Amino acid sequence: MGKTIAQKIFDAHVIDNPSGDINVIKLDAVFCHEITTPIAINDLKEREMDRVFDPAKIKAVIDHVTPSKDSKTAEQAKIMREWARSQNIKDFFDVGQNGVCHALFPEKGFVRPGYTIIMGDSHTCTHGAFGAFAAGVGTTDLEVGILKGVCAFHYPETIKIEITGNLQKNVYAKDIILSIIGKIGVNGATNKVMEFTGPVVDKMTMEERMTLCNMAIEAGGTSGVCYPDSTTVDYLWEFIKDDYSSKEVALEDFFKWHSDPDANYSSVITHDISLLQPMMTVGYKPDEVQEVNGNEKIKVDQIYIGSCTNGRIEDLREAASVLEGHTINTDVRGILSPATPDVYKQAMKEGLIDIFMDAGFCVTNPTCGACLGMSNGVLASGEVCASTTNRNFNGRMGKGGMVHLMSPAVAAATSIAGYITTPDKL
Amino acid sequence: MKDFNGQVLFLDRSDINTDEIIPAKYLTEITKAALKPYLLEDLKLRNFSTDNIPGKSIIITRENFGCGSSREHAPWALEVNGINLVIAENFARIFKQNMFNCGMMAIELNKEQIDEIFKTFASKETSIETNFLEGSLKIKSSDADMEIIFKVSEFDKALVEAGGWINYADKNY
Ligand code: SF4
């Protein structure tokens, strides 16, 4: 019987099998941010175990609320900062260099095919786009990861999702993942890895694959994963060129992180996207997904473009191409948070920031901020936001607020119209 | 190993979520102790008020306890209030993992057992003595007692014995 990519990664990392199908695996990277890490740091101090297993394998960022907005968030940031310094963690990103973790860390080349990664953040599944096993965990798991470089998981079962067909105009990776979550539900992949394959994924850029894997957790998935291929090699080449004599050699090596043809899956889903239309969420659960057509004319108060789902350069290009030459409706406020400083700089070079600002958008620094209702665009009660983020839970972007999830293109069209609509209807 | 004996707090409802156990607005706290006053603050339940919490060491509830977000603040808020054991029909996956990771216990009993316990004890002062090695619970009130066998996995048992995943991992890896 063959193995899935997740099983191959486990087999290469398992160091103990304490009971049943529990595998203790060693970790290639532990990612940290300022919301979930400070309590782990304090607890390690209390236990007089204030160490890290390998400072080079720990990557840390202040991203959720930055620059700090009040005394409590300032304290969280301070703990991270002092810890990174005292533990000699070189890859630490503070104000000026920081951006949303799941956009920043791939950009820095911290994720490689075959890696095992944990973080105290549920959207850690994003990094599976590179053919890695990456999972969100609780604070104790994070703490053990920091201290020992290991984590315990059940041996992974996988749902294979084969994406076929041809994408229509104005339909993007975000629409695909929304449609998958709508189909299988918020518990549809609980305890499972979601393996995204097929001709549509093969043609996707790394950014698109990250958007896809980012939302695996919204279907309950432990992680999302894509096979590493020449697109992966091209993206990572700058970081791996000393390790491989040529891109072909790297590609050959990465091939070991593909599932075997006879691998055992808990289920296989074929998802044809030829007829897929722009999608959005309508309720307080990410599986309450409907076509934008039919939900038009929902008035919105705020448009938010950013986050680890859709705050990357391609997302900004997509939104800017809709916005160019337009101004946003006078009844709405538009907020753009480029996900990282590099995305921000690139967008400036390409003139995208001008397009956003000329249209009337407020451009904030890279941060999670409004995505989790912490800063830079919190909703008031009764307000509605068209958002490119990944969670529409009740109160997510502010108590009493309503969030509709959608692609950057639909969000941009909505900002011009003042109500939810697709770019072709403008 | 933590203490799994003491007075019982009955929460007669299913699907008590992590937001009800500890509201999201307290996630900016940086110590576990700071969570203490807010345990179950937003729980709306007949015959329940947070004044019932002091002196209690064990929760008995219905189905799917701890659903919602992955926040470990939920077990911590219990822990700092001296509650190390929750008994229910079943739990949300991450909550259960977080409990054992903290060296606490989430014990699952079947529906008939939980029904029987509620019927016999819920209206009275009730205490439990836990025999961890044998895997049994002695439930007692002034006029009734009951002995119940429970099962937890070998790995979860080892986590409890070690006082949590941190101690276990520190010893073994
Ligand atoms: S952008 Fe939003 S979903 Fe992504 S890591 Fe930040 S808060 Fe979480």
CB contact under 8 A, B94 and A138: yes
| pLDDT for A232 beyond 80 | yes
Each residue of A60-108: pLDDT tens digit? 999 999 999 999 999 999 999 999 999 999 999 999 999 999 999 999 9
Our mutation pick for probing the ligand 1 site, out of A31, A32, A93, A123, counting the most ligand atoms within 8 A of Cβ, is A123
- Residue A241: CB atoms within 10 A of its CB come to 12
**Cα separation, A320 vs B48, whole angstroms:** 53
The closest-lying atom of ligand 1 relative to the alpha carbon of residue A339 is: 1
Omega of the bond leading into A366 within 30 degrees of 0 (cis) = no
Our mutation pick for probing the ligand 1 site, out of A214, A390, A392, A397, counting the most ligand atoms within 8 A of Cβ, is A390
| pLDDT for B30 beyond 90 | no
DSSP state of B28: T
Which structure tokens are listed for A230?
């020449």
**Cα separation, B21 vs A200, whole angstroms:** 43
**Cα separation, A115 vs A13, whole angstroms:** 9
| pLDDT for B26 beyond 90 | no
Percent helix, strand and coil across chain B, each to the nearest 5:
35, 25, 40
**Cα separation, B98 vs B95, whole angstroms:** 5
What residues 117-156 of chain B have any CB closer than 8 A to a CB of chain A? 153-155
Do A408 and A421 contact (CB within 8 A), yes or no? no
Average pLDDT value over all residues in chain A: 96
**Cα separation, A69 vs A239, whole angstroms:** 35
Q: Does A35 touch chain B (CB under 8 A)?
A: yes
**H or E element: which one contains A80?**
helix A71-86
**B121 or B22, greater pLDDT:** B121
Query: Lowest-pLDDT range, A127-141, A311-325, B20-34?
Result: B20-34
Burial class (CB in 10 A: 0-12, 13-18, 19+), A187: exposed
Which structure tokens are listed for A355?
């397009």
**Cα separation, A339 vs A57, whole angstroms:** 23
Q: Does A140 touch chain B (CB under 8 A)?
A: yes
**Cα separation, A75 vs A81, whole angstroms:** 10
What does each C-alpha distance from A324 to A227, A337, A351, A366 come to in angstroms? 35, 18, 10, 22
Backbone angles phi, psi at A151, to 5 degrees: -150, 150
- Binned at pLDDT 50, 70 and 90, residue B23 comes out as confident
Query: Which residues partner with A56 through β-bridges?
Result: none
Which residues have C-beta within 8 Å of that of residue B78, sequence separation ≥ 6? B21, B39, B59, B84, B86, B104
Do A117 and A223 contact (CB within 8 A), yes or no? no
* A18 → closest Cβ in B29, B97, B158: B158
Do A369 and A387 contact (CB within 8 A), yes or no? no
Identify the pLDDT of residue A158.
Answer: 98
Dihedral angle computed from the Cα positions of residues B2, B4, B7 and B10, in that order, rounded to the nearest 10 degrees: 110
Mean predicted confidence (pLDDT) in A163-184: 97
Do A306 and A356 contact (CB within 8 A), yes or no? no
Contact residues on chain A for B101, CB-CB shorter than 8 A: 138, 140-141
Identify the pLDDT of residue A45.
Answer: 95
Pairing of strands A384-387, A302-305: parallel
The single-letter code of the amino acid at A264 is N
| pLDDT for B162 beyond 90 | yes
User: If you count them, how many residues does chain A have?
Assistant: 426
- Binned at pLDDT 50, 70 and 90, residue A29 comes out as very high
Ligand 1 centroid–CA A304 distance in Å is 13
Which residues have C-beta within 8 Å of that of residue B117, sequence separation ≥ 6? B60, B87, B109, B139, B146, B148
Pairing of strands A267-272, A279-281: unpaired
Contact pairs from chain A to chain B, CB under 8 Å: 78
| pLDDT for B18 beyond 90 | no
Q: Smallest CA–CA separation between A18 and chain B, in Å?
A: 6
Ordered by where they begin, the domains of chain B are 6-172 (3.20.19.10)
Q: Smallest CA–CA separation between B104 and chain A, in Å?
A: 12
Percent helix, strand and coil across chain A, each to the nearest 5:
40, 20, 40
Identify the pLDDT of residue A65.
Answer: 96
**Nearest protein Cα to ligand 1, atom 2:** A371
User: Which of A52, A141, A143, A285 is the best mutation test for B, with the most CBs of B within 10 A?
Assistant: A141
User: If you count them, how many residues does chain B have?
Assistant: 173
Identify the pLDDT of residue A123.
Answer: 94
| pLDDT for A393 beyond 90 | no
Where do runs of H (alpha helix) occur along A311-407?
Answer: 313-323, 341-349, 352-359
Mean predicted confidence (pLDDT) in A232-261: 98
Do A142 and B97 contact (CB within 8 A), yes or no? no
| pLDDT for A190 beyond 90 | no
What does each C-alpha distance from B48 to A196, A223, A365, B41, B53 come to in angstroms? 46, 38, 45, 11, 9
Q: Distance between the two ends of chain B, CA-based, in angstroms?
A: 20
Backbone angles phi, psi at A60, to 5 degrees: -130, 145
**Cα separation, A240 vs A233, whole angstroms:** 8
Pairing of strands B127-131, B136-141: antiparallel
Burial class (CB in 10 A: 0-12, 13-18, 19+), A140: buried
